[in-house]
């Protein structure tokens, strides 16, 4: 990293607009770009010259965002797409083929478990979910058809941290790429590539944008994985029939994954980010460090306050000394354990519903990573369709509430929790 993180968050990927001098990145609200002549057009389509063709593939505002996040994560390249879930599919797409599987952590965002256990089966892919706290279990789950490992840095709904270094050692030993969903940590708290990750995916919907205005996703490639070593990644290491026989790894080296994701992934799957969304996320990232500092400071204070409250059964924040992930948090996210955690109330399901309904500052929403404090009672919402047993296993038991702590005055956050706890347990 040449410049400091806070400098890159404001400057990386963007220079004053060449045409107008505009200091902010313009929102290039255009579908297509005029070719200088037919020769120029042919070179662009052959990837002999880098430039803009059509905004399903690339757009200057969207590219600025991708380049900024690549710089913040310390990657070689990145591709922005329409949502976090799109980013996950875009990460798997160049690696997988029918019959292949991804070995993934059981502790994942609920939507990812759904995508991995059901939807990707339609492509002939599958996921094996195992306990990523146990490197031996990961190694045992890997077979000849495994093409990637997948986990989250700070596991949603909070409370667990992945030992990225240990997991990357298993991936290395098996010659497989490690994909890390870094949504809840952001590159401010953790840069997974420094811990051995090959690809980093983000839901830009959350902390990167930071204010609940955008649905977006990013895939960052470290540029360090040797796609040609094992013969397991023919889309990158062999002539790609989907792109007139181009051998991406041989032709593009460390940028092979990124170019394939644009030239084939975005071209044919079409999960493109729009320039307006990219603009909002660029604006959000300018204040990422400041916001994350406040998110973790407030979360730590609120978690400690809740843990000391007799109306509370337990709190799962890894920043607490009582957390089994406390020492791991110090290694993986030394600046703070994120802004997301769950706690359990004494009093069960009914008290939880009352608690959520009595909160005034907190918003009851299915989102996280907003400047505003957010709450959700998983058992009555996101995990409603599961059995009681499944809910408890997923960390969403009847008396468990998930908080995404915002950057408001922490005294107001605590006062709101206090009055709602009183109303719920009266
Ligand atoms: C929200 C989220 C996703 C999915 O992102 P979308 O932008 O909603 O598609 C994936 N992983 C994690 C950890 C998330 O919090």
| Cβ(203) – ligand 1 distance below 6 Å | yes
DSSP line for 27-76: ----SB---SSHHHHHHHHTTSS---SBTTT--HHHHHHHHHHHHHHT-S
pLDDT band at residue 282, thresholds of 50, 70 and 90? very high
* Atom of ligand 1 lying closest to residue 216 CA: 7
* Atom of ligand 1 lying closest to residue 88 CA: 10
Tell me the average pLDDT of the chain. 94
pLDDT above 60 for 1: no
Ligand 1 mean position to 220 CA, how many Å? Answer: 15
Looking at the domain 288-425, which fold is it?
A: 3.90.1150
pLDDT above 90 for 138: yes
**pLDDT tens-digit readout, 144-189:** 999 999 999 999 877 899 999 999 999 999 999 999 999 999 999 9
pLDDT value, residue 24? 92
| Cβ(112) – ligand 1 distance below 6 Å | yes
Give CA–CA dist 168/132, Å, rounded.
11
- Hey, where are the domains in the chain? 5-284, 288-425
Give CA–CA dist 302/208, Å, rounded.
22
Where do the H-state alpha helices sit in 271-325?
A: 275-286, 288-307
Burial of 222 (0-12, 13-18, 19+ CB in 10 A): buried
Ligand 1: which of 205, 278, 342, 367 to mutate, most ligand atoms within 8 Å of CB?
205
Burial 131-156 (b: 16+ CB within 10 A, else e): ebbeeeebbebbeeebbbbbbbbbbb
CATH number for the domain whose boundaries are 5-284: 3.40.640.10
Mean pLDDT, range 299-324, rounded to an integer: 96
pLDDT band at residue 46, thresholds of 50, 70 and 90? confident
pLDDT above 70 for 394: no
pLDDT above 80 for 390: no
pLDDT value, residue 47? 83
pLDDT value, residue 384? 74
**pLDDT tens-digit readout, 234-281:** 999 999 998 989 999 999 999 999 999 999 999 999 999 999 999 999
pLDDT value, residue 99? 98
pLDDT above 60 for 133: yes
Give CA–CA dist 367/357, Å, rounded.
17
pLDDT value, residue 393? 67
Give CA–CA dist 344/316, Å, rounded.
9
């Amino acid at each position: 990293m040449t410049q400091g993180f806070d400098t890159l968050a404001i400057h990386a990927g963007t220079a004053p607009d060449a045409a107008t001098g505009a200091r902010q990145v313009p929102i290039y609200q255009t579908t297509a770009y005029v070719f200088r002549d037919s020769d120029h057009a042919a070179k662009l389509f052959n990837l002999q010259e880098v430039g803009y063709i059509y905004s399903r593939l690339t757009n200057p505002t969207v590219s600025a965002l991708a380049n900024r996040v690549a710089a913040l994560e310390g990657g070689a390249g990145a591709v922005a797409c329409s949502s976090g879930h799109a980013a996950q599919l875009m990460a798997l797409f160049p690696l997988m083929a029918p019959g292949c599987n991804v070995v993934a952590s059981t502790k994942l965002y609920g939507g990812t478990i759904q995508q991995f256990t059901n939807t990707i089966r339609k492509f002939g892919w599958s996921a094996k979910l195992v306990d990523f706290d146990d490197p031996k279990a990961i190694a045992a789950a890997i077979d000849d058809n495994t093409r990637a490992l997948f986990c989250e840095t700070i596991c949603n709904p909070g409370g667990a941290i992945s030992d990225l270094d240990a997991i990357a050692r298993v991936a290395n030993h098996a010659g497989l790429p490690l994909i890390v969903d870094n949504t809840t940590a952001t590159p401010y708290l953790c840069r997974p590539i420094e811990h051995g990750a090959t690809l980093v995916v983000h839901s830009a919907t959350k902390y990167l944008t930071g204010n609940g205005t955008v649905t977006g996703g990013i895939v960052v490639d470290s540029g360090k994985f040797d796609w040609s070593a094992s013969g397991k990644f023919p889309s990158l290491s062999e002539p790609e029939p989907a792109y007139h026989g181009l051998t991406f790894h041989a032709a593009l080296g460390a940028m092979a994954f990124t170019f394939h994701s644009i030239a084939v992934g975005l071209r044919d799957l079409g999960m493109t980010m729009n320039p307006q969304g990219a603009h909002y996320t660029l604006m959000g990232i300018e204040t990422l460090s400041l916001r994350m500092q406040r998110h973790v400071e407030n979360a730590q204070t609120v978690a400690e306050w809740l843990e000391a409250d007799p109306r509370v059964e337990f709190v799962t924040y890894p920043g607490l000394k009582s957390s089994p992930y406390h020492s791991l948090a110090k290694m993986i996210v030394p600046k703070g354990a994120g802004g997301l955690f769950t706690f359990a109330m004494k009093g069960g399901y009914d008290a939880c519903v009352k608690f959520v309904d009595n909160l005034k500052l907190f918003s009851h929403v299915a989102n996280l990573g907003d400047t505003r404090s957010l709450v959700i009672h998983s058992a009555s919402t996101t995990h409603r369709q599961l059995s009681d047993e499944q809910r408890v296993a997923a960390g969403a038991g009847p008396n468990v509430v998930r908080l995404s702590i915002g950057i408001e005055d922490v005294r107001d956050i605590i006062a709101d929790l206090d009055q709602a706890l009183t109303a719920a347990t009266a």
